[in-house]
Amino acid sequence: MLIAGLVGCGDDSTGATVVVYSELPGGTFDSLTVTVMRGVETAMVREVVIGADGASFPVRVPLRYEAGPLGPITVAAEGRGPGGTTVTGGAQAFYFEVGETLTIPVTLVEACRDVSCGAGERCEDGRCVSDEVPDGGPGAPDLGQPDLGVDMGRPPICDPGAAVCECSLTGCDGNNCDCENGCACDLTCPPGQDCDHLHCKDADTECTIDAAGGSNIDVNCDGAWCTDVNLRDVSNADVRCHKDDACCIVDCRGASNCRVSCESGAYCRLDCGAGADENCRFEECWADENPLDCGGGVFVCGAARCPDDRMCRRGTEPDD
């Protein structure tokens, strides 16, 4: 595959961002599939959970050119609803432009509800039209041999072997951002962007993560301390906090979907805000089937009693 769905942190390479809009009412969809192809080769399939009120739209899917021909690239989106409704949409085939980041809009409209099109076609105003491929297109730039696998590039890492172990990884939209080996890192995802690999790993590693206003956020706190995970107003966030002594302090106030799994001896504090519904919740709490309800939309897993602060602490059984 010559397209990656994750763009390297701070990378200025040739690429595009697919932006999927919906003109249908909130609640029409509960999931979205975006399929990207280069020629007849499927390069990427992205599944997105849609909030009940449609707050996840617009959905942004970053693409990065890796090697080989610049196109043609085709994009298809399919929204699926709880009643079996499907709405499809697509974009005119395009070629990457070297040194440029293109915006490729796709809009799901009522006229394309339950319209099924064949290969090489897309729904437009309720009818299937041929997805005409532009003639020719630029040849491949000299960027080395084509990569025939999924090439996400080496994720940026806060490395203790570097001159400064304490570091900030900013602009992590759609990127792999790793902090490990006992470092201290600030990981940032810009509002409106996808960040599906924010990883804080190893004992004595400490991270703050700011992804407020982002979408499709995935945080993995693997034995580390994530002392401040800001997921306010995000659409679709998953946090996994696991291994003994791991800690996650998570703020999901205003989020449309926020799920936290607190596993294997970790300590987790989740602030959903007063009046939050079941879309903000613990998916798993190792210490008890029901995490502690501390009032005001705050829940805790891995503590014997509700703490009076937002500090990390060692995980304990509720009856300790």
Same domain, 123 and 71: yes
Query: Which residue range forms the structural domain that includes residue 64?
Result: 3-130
pTM over 0.75: no
Q: What is the pLDDT of residues 216-274, one digit of tens each?
A: 899 999 999 999 999 999 989 999 999 877 999 999 999 989 999 999 889 999 999 99
| In-domain check, residue 75 | yes
Angle at 53 (CA atoms; ends 197, 281), nearest 5 degrees: 55
Same domain, 167 and 125: no
Q: What is the pLDDT of residues 129-168, one digit of tens each?
A: 887 665 555 544 433 332 322 222 333 444 444 433 345 6
Angle at 5 (CA atoms; ends 2, 8), nearest 5 degrees: 95
Distance from C-alpha of 206 to C-alpha of 230, rounded to nearest angstrom: 15
Q: What is the pLDDT of residues 59-83, one digit of tens each?
A: 877 777 877 788 888 888 999 988 7
Residue 55, Cα to own-chain centre: how many angstroms?
A: 15
Distances (CA, A) of 265 to 4, 276, 284, 302, 319: 35, 26, 12, 7, 14
Domain boundary among 94, 114, 130: 130
3-state secondary structure of 110: helix
Q: How many CA atoms lie within 13 A of 130 on its CB side?
A: 3
